[in-house]
């Protein structure tokens, strides 16, 4: 398959690993953060971390959209779903995200009308088929999924669907990157930039990482060769004393992004002054809200929501995991009280969560290295 098979080529991966090993032998220990949760799962699914030299460490970041949703916002969604007239639609990985005392799945078991959809347009179609119900779409995700929600809002207005609304929890990628770079004890040498988000926003928004913080960033794809090539590019920059934003994922990502998608975001949303992130606290201008022009389709205006800030359970260390300060297996409840079947934190729930990646691929302790060169 063109643009896939060549990025899974074992020979190409071996050559990259040999070159990475040679470069790494001439450099001090390096720590690179893969911002996107999809990268974390690809790294562990293919065993890439175990193949890298021991002085290269990959740290996961806050790029899982479900993981960063705070418990208070989950409670708000449950409160809306508990209205007798409401049908709450969401993506499947939101069903089991814990609020303070419950989840949407448990609310469904108690009688709430909660349904899984694959697109916000599915929720809009459901509203058109059921004019006697208030259909609410629980919108989550970075700039990757926000354009589809924006397009659905535009369609709802054009089609005059008045029983549809959006409970918006879309977040943006640049502010949390800045928060990590400004955090005390920051100790990273570079970033594997997110692939999916960059298809929408392009690579230009990351220039501040190189210009202000003097760290290289390479936007990467999700196949094994993609990730290894991005690591190689980061090492080359550091060896040459460069700090630039480079694009490994050129077959999908451009410098300027997707203009039509960006225009939709500007039309349907406004930037929130503040939004709470799990593990990172309140970050200014880091999330999107439904624009005033679409206020008739804003669930936060149509329904009463508690809006209460809820602290994470003391046993859960998702916040530290999201910041890369802890490995999942260092959390006290990882793999014991907290599993995909009985999750305490969001990082174990989402298909892109770091804890789910470590658990699913058997990483319960510090990584183990393969004691031979990749080409042997």
Helices and strands, number each (H, E), in the chain: 15, 13
The reply to whether 235 and 348 lie within a common domain is: no
Residues 151 and 289 in one domain: yes
**Residue 75 lies inside a defined structural domain of this protein:** yes
SS3 100: coil
The CA distance from 116 to 123, in Å, is 9
Q: Are residues 264 and 341 in the same domain?
A: no
- Sites in the chain below the pLDDT cut of 70: 1, 365-376
Count, residues in the chain: 376
Dihedral angle, C-alpha 197, 202, 206, 207, nearest 10 °: 180
71 shares its domain with 90 = yes
* 255, 260, 261, 263 alpha-carbon torsion, rounded to 10°: 100
Within a domain: 116: yes
- Residue 170's DSSP bridge partners are 141
CATH code at 226?
3.40.50.11750
Domain finish residue from 253, 281, 311: 311
Whether 169 and 45 share a structural domain: yes
- Buried/exposed 216-236: b ≥16 CB within 10 Å, e otherwise: bbbbbbbbbbbbbbbbbbbbb
| Rounded distance between C-alpha atoms, residue 116 and residue 271, angstroms | 27
pLDDT reported for residue 223: 96
3-state secondary structure of 224: helix
Mark whether 141 and 207 lie in a shared domain.
yes
The dihedral over CA atoms of 49, 29, 27, 55, expressed in degrees to the nearest 10, equals: -30
CA–CA distance, 256 with 272 (Å, rounded to integer): 23
Measured CA to CA, the distance from residue 331 to residue 317 in angstroms comes to: 6
Q: Do 8 and 63 belong together in one domain? A: yes
Task: Say if 376 falls within a structural domain.
Answer: no
In this structure, is residue 23 part of a structural domain?
yes
The conformation of residue 334, written as its DSSP 8-state character, comes to B
336 and 286 housed in the same domain: no
Residue-wise pLDDT for 61-96, tens only, equals: 887 888 888 889 999 999 999 999 999 999 998 999
Per DSSP, the three-state class of 319 is: helix
User: Residue 182 contacts by C-beta under 8 Å, 6 or more apart in sequence?
Assistant: none
Q: Which of 196, 188, 241, 204 is nearest to 220 (CA)?
A: 196
Pair 61, 83 in one domain: yes
Q: Which domain holds residue 337?
A: 318-360
- Collapsed DSSP state (helix, strand, coil) of residue 182: helix
Whole-angstrom distance, CA of residue 120 vs CA of residue 104: 17
Shared domain check, 85 and 173: yes
Query: What is the C-alpha to C-alpha distance for residues 75 and 81, in angstroms, rounded to an integer?
Result: 10
Are residue 266 and residue 330 in the same domain, yes or no? no
pLDDT of residue 147: 98
Within a domain: residue 374?
Answer: no
Q: Do 290 and 322 fall into the same domain?
A: no
Measured CA to CA, the distance from residue 133 to residue 230 in angstroms comes to: 48
Is 194 within the bounds of a domain?
yes
7 inside domain: yes
Is the separation of the CB atoms in 282 and 253 below 8 Å? Answer: no
Q: How many CA atoms lie within 13 A of 22 on its CB side?
A: 8
Between CA 85 and CA 107 the distance in angstroms is 14
CA angle 106, 110, 113 (to 5 degrees): 90
| Residue 348: Cβ-neighbour burial (10 angstroms; 0-12, 13-18, 19+) | buried
Domain contains 222: yes
User: Measured in whole angstroms, how far is the alpha carbon of residue 59 from the centre of its chain?
Assistant: 14
Count of domains for the chain:
2
**Full-prediction pTM beyond 0.85?**
yes
- Other beta carbons within 10 Å of 142: 25
């Amino acid at each position: 398959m063109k643009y896939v098979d060549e990025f899974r080529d074992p020979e190409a991966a071996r050559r990259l690993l040999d070159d990475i090993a040679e470069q790494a032998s001439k450099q001090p220990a390096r720590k690179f953060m893969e911002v996107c949760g999809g990268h974390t799962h690809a790294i562990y699914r293919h065993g890439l971390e175990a193949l890298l030299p021991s002085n290269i460490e990959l740290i996961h970041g806050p790029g899982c959209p479900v993981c960063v949703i705070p418990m208070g916002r989950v409670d708000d969604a449950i409160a809306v779903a508990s209205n007798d007239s409401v049908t709450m639609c969401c993506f499947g990985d939101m069903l089991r995200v814990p609020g303070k005392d419950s989840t949407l799945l448990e609310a469904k078991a108690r009688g709430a009308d909660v349904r899984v959809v694959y697109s916000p347009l599915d929720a809009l179609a459901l509203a058109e088929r059921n004019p006697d119900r208030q259909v609410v779409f629980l919108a989550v995700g970075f700039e990757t999924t926000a354009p589809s929600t924006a397009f659905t809002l535009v369609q709802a207005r054009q089609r005059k669907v008045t029983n549809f609304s959006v409970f918006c929890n879309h977040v943006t990628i640049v502010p949390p990157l800045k928060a990590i770079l400004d955090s005390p004890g920051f100790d990273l040498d570079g970033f594997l930039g997110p692939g999916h988000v960059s298809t929408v926003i392009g690579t230009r928004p990351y220039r501040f990482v190189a210009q202000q913080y003097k760290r290289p960033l390479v936007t990467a794809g999700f196949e094994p060769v993609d990730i290894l090539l991005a690591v190689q590019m980061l090492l080359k920059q550091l060896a040459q004393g460069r700090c630039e934003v480079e694009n490994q994922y050129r077959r999908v990502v451009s410098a300027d992004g997707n203009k039509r998608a960006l225009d939709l975001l500007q039309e349907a949303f406004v930037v929130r002054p503040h939004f709470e992130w799990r593990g990172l606290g309140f970050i200014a201008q880091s999330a999107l809200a439904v624009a005033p022009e679409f206020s008739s389709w804003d669930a936060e205006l149509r329904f009463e929501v508690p809006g209460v800030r809820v602290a994470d359970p003391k046993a859960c260390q998702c916040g530290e995991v999201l910041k890369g300060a802890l490995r999942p297996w260092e959390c006290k409840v990882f793999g014991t009280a907290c599993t995909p079947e009985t999750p305490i934190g969001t990082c174990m729930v989402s298909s892109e969560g770091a804890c789910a990646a470590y658990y699913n691929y058997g990483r319960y302790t510090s990584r183990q290295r393969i004691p031979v060169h990749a080409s042997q």
